[in-house]
Amino acid sequence: MPVHDAPQQRDIAMRPARRLPEPRAMLTAPQPEAVEAGLEILRAGGNALDAVIGCALAQGVVDPMMCGLGGLGVLQLHDPVSGRHEVWDGLSTCPAAARPEMFAARFRGECPDGYGYILSDHANELGHEAVTVPGILAALSAAHGEAGRLPWADLFEPAIATARAGWLVRPHVAAMFHLDEAPHGRLPYARKLGFSEAGRALYCRPDGSPKRLGDTVRNPSLADTLALIARDGAQAFYRGDIAAGIAADMAAHGGLLTRADLQHFRPRKLAPLSVTYRGWTIAVPPPPAGGIFVAQMLRILERFDLVALGHNSPAYMAVAAEAMRIAGSDRDEHIGDPDFTRPPLAMLLGDAHADAAAAQIRAGTRASLTRLPEPAHTTTISCVDGDGMVVSLTHTLGLPSGVMPKGLGFMLNGAMNWYDPRPGRAGSIAPGKRRFSSMTPTIVFDGPRAVATLGAPGGAWIGIAVTQALLNLLDWGMGMQEAAAAPRFSATSDVIDLSNRIPRAAQAGLQAMGYATKRSPLSHAFAAVHGITMWDGRLEGGADPQRDGYVGSL
């Protein structure tokens, strides 16, 4: 907090107070057009779930390399009126034609940043073999069928209008369009934008280069697709004309995904995974989503007086970094699709395991983790409505595959890149299998009352960022905006990564303790937290400055 001298304090005190009405509903997301879509639906009488669905549909229009109808995601919903509290798992599955050995001969190694696997022909990230069964639309439809308020078709109107009228390429979209992931063993995004005729027409300039900041994108084909789903429901995507178009394109180009895969896909309604932290209850999605990572870190960190260490001090960062590494190592060893490998949640979240981890940290034993940060190919939404319903959604394309079936206007995911091409491993390919995802839309409770919700895009950094934001809220008493924007650090490898606003003296302190460090050039780094607090019933939102969105309220 800034310290004002006495004259400044007197001047402030003499000004007439400006009393703004308290917001009754709030939504935050990384895209301004999507926030507008969600607010429009709230104004029309929709509840938080309706608003999140409308926002997500708009995100698929204006952030087409991050998310969309061809993607996957996880949604958490709490409704104090009905008592409903559930997680909708819309994570994708391997097509039935997938086989554990299908990519083995083409395997060349793991991506250097730990996010995916390198094939000689990159077929697991670009093209039709890369596509898994999209799950996000099925999850949104199923959730709406149980808890939505407005008619399904009404939720599509803002996204359809934006697709027809067009939108401007924003800074983060421009950065993704021009992203070159060659240093990580993956292809530049220009290859994915230009892979299909539709992608070249929509997202590239006449010279074939990706569109740039301020260029306009209009997508009437996507508007038509959205209108069809609005009229006929999600069945149009999974069983109707859209499914037929996807399946025909796959069959013509050697893809794995079939019409039967689409017809047989079902989202899952699950109970949240909950842990306590200093008297609060933290509800996160269970495996194969990423809530276990956040939950385990909180169980370990609860055993330390973090405030006494000092915010982002060398000692504070060292303790948190060790918790990150322990939780990351346990995740890699134990967490996969529960249908294939049952996760030992009671052990991982039990007192004995947390006590042992804390004792290890206090003894100065260093954990080792060879995996490095994953890139951010994801987006998020959090919303609270006037009746107290809380909804948080994170969804993604995984990696965009570049595949855009003719006339449909959207890109399909490239999530086969997440599966290990080597047979016999926890993450190996198998028909119907889901892979671990870091996505973790989160809700915090004080007794029965929800008091905060947050989520983040950002690959393996999601759990890192959500946990630090939770510590900022619950240990340090920060507001949501301050908690989302505060400098972060990351330990998803044997190096502690620091955002550029972590003081250099603190970095020197870590180095003096024997830690290897790396400074990011970014002022705001390591995922992008967006969230809302509801302390004493008053809504306060936060939007990470590294993205283009904001907090909207009514």
Q: Are 524 and 499 in contact (CB under 8 A)?
A: yes
Q: Are 282 and 276 in contact (CB under 8 A)?
A: yes
State the Cα–Cα distance between residues 404 and 127, nearest whole angstrom: 9
Residues 6+ apart with CB under 8 A from 46: 54, 148, 149, 150, 154, 155, 385
Question: Cα 152 vs. chain centroid, distance in angstroms?
Answer: 24
CA distance 300 to 323: 6
What is the distance between the alpha carbons of residues 373 and 464, in angstroms, rounded to a whole number? 10
* Structure-derived torsion over alpha carbons of residues 486, 492, 498, 502, reported in degrees to the nearest 10: 40
What are 277's strand-pairing partners?
Answer: 280
DSSP annotation of 391 reads E
3-state secondary structure of 351: helix
Distance from the Cα of residue 107 to its chain's centroid: 28
- Known catalytic residue: 453? no
Q: How far apart, in whole angstroms, are the C-alpha atoms of residue 131 and residue 410?
A: 13
Question: What does the H/E/C string look like for 456-503?
Answer: CCCCCHHHHHHHHHHHHHHCCCCCHHHHHHCCCEECCCCEEEECCCCC
Q: Which of 417, 428, 539, 532 is nearest to 111 (CA)?
A: 417
Cβ pair 534, 480 in contact under 8 A: no
Residue 399 backbone phi and psi in degrees, to 5: -115, 135
Rounded CA-CA distance 2/11 in Å is: 15
Nearest Cα to Cα of residue 438 among 398, 391, 383, 390: 398
Under 8 Å between Cβ of 178 and 170: no
**β-bridge mates for residue 282, sequence order:** 275, 444
Tell the residue number behind the tokens 């809700």, with chain if given.
443
3 state DSSP class of 145 = helix
Pairwise CA distance, residues 520 & 312, whole Å = 16
Q: Which of 378, 396, 442, 453 is catalytic?
A: 378
Spatial distance between the Cα atoms of 79 and 56, rounded to a whole number of angstroms: 19
CA distance 502 to 123: 39
Token pair belonging to 333:
């060893």
CA end-to-end span of the chain: 28
Q: Dihedral sign for Cα 316, 318, 319, 320, please.
A: positive
* Cα–Cα distance for residue pair 237/56, rounded to 1 Å: 16
Catalytic residue list: 378
